[in-house]
Chains A and B, each alone.
Chain A
Amino acid sequence: AQSVTQLGSHVSVSEGALVLLRCNYSSSVPPYLFWYVQYPNQGLQLLLKYTTGATLVKGINGFEAEFKKSETSFHLTKPSAHMSDAAEYFCAVSFSSGNTPLVFGKGTRLSVIA
């Protein structure tokens, strides 16, 4: 079955530290991959997306993600966390088969400690 797994429902980092949020998917055909961010009481906002081509994708607010086909992963990173990065992050996948437009992971809540 096609699925999206985000490891860690809650990640806590110190301000200035590396942020690493993990996302794995299950599919034999490379899907289209997205990372969204949700601030409290808000909808989801696109951070970045992978389509084809370069496997390292740069997004907004200093975030980037690397697509690794062999590991079926699309982990999100940011070199230096800022207090304003505290939010919930969702990995989303558009699979080549199936009827769901976007399948979301369960989300990872990022806390940034001063």
Chain B
Amino acid sequence: KAGVTQTPRYLIKTRGQQVTLSCSPISGHRSVSWYQQTPGQGLQFLFEYFSETQRNKGNFPGRFSGRQFSNSRSEMNVSTLELGDSALYLCASRTSVATYTNTEAFFGQGTRLTVV
């Protein structure tokens, strides 16, 4: 069974540009969450999608957006990039539909975004 796949693995963008990251969850997983990981801040929740609907959203500016397709694949977009957006962006998928759950989240290897 294939794991969570994130593309691309590495990305370098210039300030002011926009970027789109992709995540393919494990087959059968309908919940997809995105996290931003930076040194010192740990993992910060961006948003979660389930059945093509954004179910939860973290405390990030509107420049960060996402969507989920009917095959559960998800994309996140960051517009007007800032230097502070440089981070590892992680995607996780789960089988559970509940927020309060003991179901394991499976993570992709992440996309390392560098903004210059």
Q: Interface residues, chain A, CB within 8 Å of chain B?
A: 9, 31-32, 34, 36, 41-46, 49, 51-52, 90, 92, 94-107
CA separation between A9 and B40, bound complex, in Å?
8
* Complex contact A101–B48 (CB within 8 A): yes
CA separation between A50 and B106, bound complex, in Å?
16
Expressed in whole angstroms, the minimum distance between the Cβ of A99 and any Cβ of chain B is 4
Expressed in whole angstroms, the minimum distance between the Cβ of A26 and any Cβ of chain B is 16
CA separation between A96 and B99, bound complex, in Å?
8
* Complex contact A94–B100 (CB within 8 A): yes
CA separation between A102 and B48, bound complex, in Å?
10
Given contacts A101-B33, A101-B56, contact A41 B105 (CB under 8 A): no
B21 at the A/B interface (Cβ < 8 Å)? no
Q: Which of B35, B102, B107 meets A94, CB within 8 Å?
A: B102
* Complex contact A94–B99 (CB within 8 A): yes
* Complex contact A51–B56 (CB within 8 A): no
Q: Which 5 A-B pairs have the closest CB atoms?
A: A43-B107, A106-B42, A51-B102, A99-B56, A104-B43
Expressed in whole angstroms, the minimum distance between the Cβ of B111 and any Cβ of chain A is 10
A-B pairs with beta carbons under 8 Å apart, 6 shown: A31-B100, A32-B100, A41-B109, A43-B110, A102-B33, A106-B42
Instruction: Output the nearest chain A residue to B99 by Cβ-Cβ distance.
Output: A101
On chain A, the residues within 8 Å of B102 by CB distance are 32, 49, 51-52, 94
* Complex contact A105–B42 (CB within 8 A): yes
On chain A, the residues within 8 Å of B107 by CB distance are 36, 43-45
On chain A, the residues within 8 Å of B40 by CB distance are 9, 106
B31 at the A/B interface (Cβ < 8 Å)? yes
